[in-house]
Amino acid sequence: MHFRSPPESETPLKSMVIVGKVQARVVRNLEEGSVFEFVHEQFAETLEEAVTAR
């Protein structure tokens, strides 16, 4: 999943982050933002709700 983040706030690779209620790690930083890999399997039916939850 790709999220936009400003270049000055680039998160170090392999950092653990929380996206909504989902644990993920940073696998790549791009000019447009960061790319995350979810730690646990996610299902299409519940993914949008899980990553947008607060």
Q: Dump pLDDT digits (tens) for 2-27.
A: 555 555 678 899 999 999 999 999 99
Give the 3-state secondary structure percentages of the chain, helix then strand then coil, rounded to 5: 20, 40, 35
Residue 29 burial (CB count, 10 A)? 15
Distances in Å between the Cα of 44 and the Cα atoms of 11, 13, 17, 33, 48 are 26, 25, 20, 22, 8
List pLDDT tens digits, range 25-42: 999 998 888 899 999 999
**pLDDT, position 11:** 87
Distance between CA atoms of residues 10 and 4, nearest Å: 10
pLDDT, the chain, mean = 86
